[in-house]
């Protein structure tokens, strides 16, 4: 509900979250001369999902040259695919080089956002008792921020160590231990090769195999870093090439085209090349169309599965007890540690905290049947509120940073436009938002994501509020211009 408050200062922009999205937004606003910014961060450190996902093997499956902002390139990447440590170094560099830490209030977990239409002010309250008011609010808390544990009977009875990929226990020594990894998604296939080097016995519990492509990871030559340092345009050119290469993959990942068949043949050849045993080959070959779930990249996952200390288990897990895991085969597997690589709780039909817009409307209840926004960034009835990685902005084939950057530029343009027009608020028109979503859902129906697999992209009803059904170029192009005719502009007198 709207909060009337005359004592708390009114800032220009309030940002929730100090990960890539929040920091990038602050940086670009600062470059446009907007410095009155507050970032509320629930943790005691910056970095968002990269701060939290520190499991062994954590790395980006997008080439490192595509994994920095174009307005703050990183010439120093040491590998073709960066590990999480190096990505965190880049994030720390961003914050330090551009003086972004001064905006951040750490250990402040937002518990609600509410809009006061009279004043045109957003108010955020935190669990720790902080109140922040601002003219514009940016929700940059990230979609993959809360670890998800499966609902397996007896989970709490296990007497050994329980670890989640997104909440790693670095004090636990896996050497010589009997370890179970549950989950074979993007996190699982990165963890398994590392734990296979340490555990005495590693059992990988797979419910559904994913399509996996070879990952061409190599150390970058020193001369390349020197060149990128001295000639940033050389790095920009490489980046452009990588971007276009990923764009060309879109037709194979997002839609069922001949390119999709070609990619699937490549993934099958990868299995044939790396997996000698016929039974194992069959077990790790997916039955769904490539692209339906995230396509993974690994050249060391299949070899790890074939190490003597490792075994893939495809019998469904029936229960967990104090000693380990019981499968439908009726066998009890005993472990010292259970590793959950089971992903994140993604609030597809709600918001991570209550968000109240005009006239007390509440976003979570409006989104009960599926989240909808305009260009993934604004929602009608919630003026001056922007979302990064809002509904339908997920990339299936290209760098998340390309999408984040397009959204940041849209926010910066909106904030500067409001200032130059001297208007209090901009609120996207309901009819424009509705048309936008009708069009999106029509396009989504024709994508591989709708081809029948079970993925975190879809709600239980099969509604896709996660992915953008097109090229990154298309997404970025639509974000280049703020079309004022799509908005209801509210002047300071309320007109």
Residue 184 beta carbon to ligand N01: minimum distance, rounded to whole angstroms: 4
| Contacting ligand N01 within 131-160 (CB under 6 A) | 144, 150, 152
* 357 sits near ligand N01 (criterion: CB under 6 A): no
Q: Say what angle helices 222-230 and 232-253 make with each other, to 10 degrees.
A: 110
Would you say 19 and 50 are in contact if contact means Cβ atoms under 8 Å apart? Answer: yes
* 449 sits near ligand N01 (criterion: CB under 6 A): no
**In angstroms, rounded to a whole number, what is the distance separating the alpha carbons of residues 235 and 81?**
15
Residue 104 beta carbon to ligand N01: minimum distance, rounded to whole angstroms: 24
Among 21, 108, 165, 398, binds ligand N01 (CB under 6 A): 165
Order across the sheet with 337-340: list the strands: 161-164, 337-340, 178-182, 201-205, 310-313
Residue 186 beta carbon to ligand N01: minimum distance, rounded to whole angstroms: 3
* 283 sits near ligand N01 (criterion: CB under 6 A): no
* 342 sits near ligand N01 (criterion: CB under 6 A): yes
Among 64, 74, 125, 187, binds ligand N01 (CB under 6 A): 187
The smaller minimum CB distance to ligand N01, of residues 152 and 371, is found at 152
Burial (0-12, 13-18, 19+ Cβ within 10 Å), 84 = buried
- Residue indicated by tokens 């009890």: 332
Residue 224 beta carbon to ligand N01: minimum distance, rounded to whole angstroms: 22
| Contacting ligand N01 within 42-81 (CB under 6 A) | 60-61
- Integer angstrom CA distances of residue 207 from 80, 138, 410: 31, 37, 40
Residue 49 beta carbon to ligand N01: minimum distance, rounded to whole angstroms: 8
Would you say 419 and 276 are in contact if contact means Cβ atoms under 8 Å apart? Answer: no
Tokens of 448: 């591989």
Q: What is the DSSP string of 186-237?
A: HHHHHHHHHHHTT-SEEEEE-SS---EE-----BPPHHHHHHHHH-HHHHHH
* 188 sits near ligand N01 (criterion: CB under 6 A): yes
The smaller minimum CB distance to ligand N01, of residues 341 and 380, is found at 341
* 208 sits near ligand N01 (criterion: CB under 6 A): yes
* 185 sits near ligand N01 (criterion: CB under 6 A): yes
The smaller minimum CB distance to ligand N01, of residues 81 and 103, is found at 81
> Which is nearest to 205 in space by CA: 307, 337, 324, 315?
315
Would you say 364 and 355 are in contact if contact means Cβ atoms under 8 Å apart? Answer: yes
Among 94, 100, 179, 186, binds ligand N01 (CB under 6 A): 186
* 192 sits near ligand N01 (criterion: CB under 6 A): no
Contacting residues toward ligand N01, per CB under 6 A:
60-61, 144, 150, 152, 165, 182-188, 205, 207-208, 294, 317, 341-344, 454, 456
């Amino acid at each position: 509900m709207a909060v009337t408050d005359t004592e708390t200062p009114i800032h220009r922009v309030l940002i929730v979250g100090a990960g890539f999205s929040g920091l990038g937004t602050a940086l670009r606003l600062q470059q446009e001369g907007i410095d009155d910014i507050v970032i509320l961060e629930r943790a005691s450190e910056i970095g968002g999902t990269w701060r939290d996902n520190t499991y062994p093997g954590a790395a980006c499956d997008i080439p490192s040259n595509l994994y920095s902002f174009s307005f703050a390139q990183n010439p120093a990447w040491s590998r073709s695919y960066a590990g999480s440590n190096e990505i965190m170094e880049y994030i720390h560099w961003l914050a330090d080089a551009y003086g972004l830490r001064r905006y951040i209030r750490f250990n402040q977990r937002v518990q609600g956002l509410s809009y006061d239409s009279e004043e045109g002010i957003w108010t955020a309250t935190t669990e720790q008792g902080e109140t922040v008011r601002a003219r514009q609010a940016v929700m940059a808390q990230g979609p993959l921020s809360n670890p998800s544990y499966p609902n397996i009977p007896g989970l709490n009875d296990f007497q050994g160590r329980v670890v989640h990929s997104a909440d790693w226990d670095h004090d636990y020594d896996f050497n010589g231990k009997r370890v179970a990894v549950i989950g074979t998604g993007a996190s699982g296939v990165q963890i398994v090769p590392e734990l296979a080097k340490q555990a005495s016995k590693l059992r990988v519990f797979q419910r559904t195999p994913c399509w996996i492509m070879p990952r061409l990871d190599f150390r970058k030559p020193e001369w390349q870093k020197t060149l990128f340092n001295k000639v940033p345009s050389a790095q920009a050119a490489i980046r452009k090439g990588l971007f276009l290469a990923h764009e060309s993959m879109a037709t194979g990942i997002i839609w069922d085209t001949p390119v999709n068949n070609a990619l699937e043949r490549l993934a099958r050849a990868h299995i044939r090349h790396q997996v000698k045993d016929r039974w194992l080959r069959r077990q790790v070959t997916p039955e769904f169309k490539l692209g339906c779930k995230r396509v993974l990249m690994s050249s060391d996952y299949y070899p790890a599965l074939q190490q003597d200390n490792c075994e893939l288990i495809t019998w469904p897990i029936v229960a967990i007890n104090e000693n380990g895991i019981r499968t439908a085969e009726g066998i009890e597997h005993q472990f010292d540690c259970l590793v959950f690589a089971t992903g994140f709780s993604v609030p597809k039909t709600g918001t991570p905290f209550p968000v109240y817009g005009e006239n007390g409307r509440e976003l979570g209840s409006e989104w009960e049947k599926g989240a909808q926004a305009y260009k993934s960034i604004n929602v009608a009835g919630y003026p001056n509120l922007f979302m990064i990685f809002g509904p339908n902005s997920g990339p299936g084939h290209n760098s998340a940073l390309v999408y984040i950057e397009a959204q940041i530029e849209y926010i910066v343009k909106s904030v500067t436009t409001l200032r130059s027009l001297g208007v209090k608020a901009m609120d996207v028109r309901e009819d424009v938002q509705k048309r936008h979503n009708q069009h999106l859902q029509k396009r989504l129906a024709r994508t591989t994501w709708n081809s029948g697999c079970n993925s975190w992209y879809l709600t239980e009803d099969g509604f896709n509020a996660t992915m953008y059904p097109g090229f990154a170029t298309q997404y970025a192009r639509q974000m280049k211009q703020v079309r004022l005719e799509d908005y209801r502009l509210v002047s300071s007198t309320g007109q």
